Amino acid sequence: MDMRARVNTALKQAMKDKSADRLATLRLICAAIKDREIAQRGDGEDNAVGDAEVLAILGKMVKQRQESVRVYEEGGRLDLAEREAAEIEVIEEFLPKPLAEEEVDEAISEAVACTGACSIRDMGKVMGELKSRHTGRMDFGKVGPKVKQRLCAS
**CATH assignment at residue 130:** 1.10.10
Residue 80, helix vs strand vs coil: helix
Please indicate, yes or no, whether residues 86 and 113 belong to a single structural domain of this protein. no
The total domain count for the chain is: 2
Predicted TM-score of the model (pTM):
0.75
Query: Residue-wise pLDDT tens for the chain (154 aa)?
Result: 688 899 999 999 999 999 999 999 999 999 999 999 888 887 776 677 888 888 889 989 999 999 999 999 999 999 999 999 999 999 999 988 888 889 988 999 899 888 888 888 888 898 988 888 887 788 888 888 988 888 887 6
Rg (CA), the chain: 18
Asked which of 73, 92, 111 is the last residue of a domain, the reply is 92
- Supply the range of the domain harboring residue 118: 101-153
